Chain A
Amino acid sequence: MANATITGAAPATRIAGSWRALAVVLVLAAATALPFGLSDYQTFQVTLVLAYAIALLGLNMLTGFSGQISLGHGAFYALGGYVAAILMDRYDWPYWTTLPVAGAACLVAGFLFGLPALRLEGLYLALATLALAVATPQLLKSKLLEDWTGGVQGISVLKPDPPDFLPVNPDQWLYLFTLGVTALMFLIGWNILRGRIGRALRAIREHPVAAEAMGVNTALYKSLVFGVSAMFTGIAGALGAIAIQFVAPDSFDVFLSIRLLVGLVVGGLGAISGAFWGGLFIQFVPNIADQISKAAPWAIYGIFLIGFMYAMPTGVAGGLRLMAGRLRRWRGPADQPGGDA
């Protein structure tokens, strides 16, 4: 690259950055217009896709960037959902105020769970989090917490009304609200991962010993990341509860945690866009599996999973990136951006 300047980034990467920004703006605009072309039910479904995407962003922070496996994030989704439901139903809090509380509760819970649990590595950590997921419905149904959780019957909440000055119906408003929260959470997440914390996380994932030697308090960071990822998932759970208008113990069983992890891997780790692919997968594929086989839909789901792991181990986002890379190489070196090869 003969004309690469020494001081700034090479011109090619600056252009790439502004293309990316433009793409994001376009996607946001399209997303905002989306509900007006869909039925109310479809709008509701897409709202859930966004909620799942937030949850997956949190999980991605944990697994993709920090290398820990959690099979228990359904518990935090449940916690967020119940916090929102209890605040709205028992204490008449407005729906949008429940989100920060749900997030804070999950941040603390996640951090506290992470402190002892992260002494385990890899697959053993996964089993410990699985224990959390399996215990959650039982805890929610138990007599201990029944006064709060409403026991087996759960809690219902009312769908929020759109503000008077906007000509949208409640489903559309909820979608737009969720979209706004999603954009905000992704911005926060992107900033966290880009900055010092993101670098520390990558260091911990690639070489924990070296990271420790460089002064990164690995144990604290890992638990903190667990807490933050739980926070994201909790906020997602609150949004989900508001959308579905209902929380009950059996909707937060171990299969929810499984679906979240599956969404994460299918969507693609380590890439923020993966969260959206994963959200789409979580919301729509079980329906497809159900259509294929009414009798044993989960079996179809399982077969699909295994096949996917053989075919696209890096998930949709990773697969797309691979294809883009191959396309670039096929077009020839002249078209490749400058900077580091």
Chain B
Amino acid sequence: MPALLEANALRAYYGARPVLHGLSFSVPEGGIATLLGANGAGKTTTLRALCKMLRVEGEIRFAGQRIDHRSTEQIVRLGIAHVPDGRGTFVDLTVEENLKVGAITRRDREIAGDFERAYGYFPRLKERRRQQAGTLSGGEQQMLAIARALMLRPRLLLLDEPSFGLAPLLVEEIFRIMRQINQQEHVSILLVEQNASLALDLADDAYLLETGRLVLSGKAADIAKAESVRRSYLGY
């Protein structure tokens, strides 16, 4: 599959301090790639770098075009939706208003229909649509965050640790829905996860990060099978 997103020698800096030291990876069009690694490896930073939330050097291409010189707002409008770690919920707005914000840059007339599609993936949100988003449980807020990202009608979804702090059953449900979204909406996904086994199960390609550098890359299926790799790098 051709790549929807490509990063070449990506470097990123918090102020003067370099935190990513030349990453090269890609997300296949219509596919799923996952970034794995321990705490502090730089996974969240990578997603932030893709959205220009910090200073970057190197090349980022989206659908062939360079986007590393653009601002966050412009990148989002190109069709990249980022679900940040911690969900980023608008806690004082209602569920429905949260979804509206997700679609706020759209000028087309199909927004109403997209509401129904989002509720279709996450029926729990429909029940609570007039509720204040801050009163939702962690799992529901995660669903809301993904739904809000979908309202953008993105081509690429960046997901930062969707399993964080959630019960296993809920995590499985969310991963199931993510697979559905990928297949039915043709949304490519770049998934950052600490839960390696689930991520490798879902993804096509996998990358392993360690302190800002890529130490392993390949097909997710291959990495999942290679026992020595799994044991030494992923701990299972």
A and B touch in the complex (CB under 8 A): no
Which residues does A use to contact B, with CB under 8 Å? Answer: none
Which residues does B use to contact A, with CB under 8 Å? Answer: none
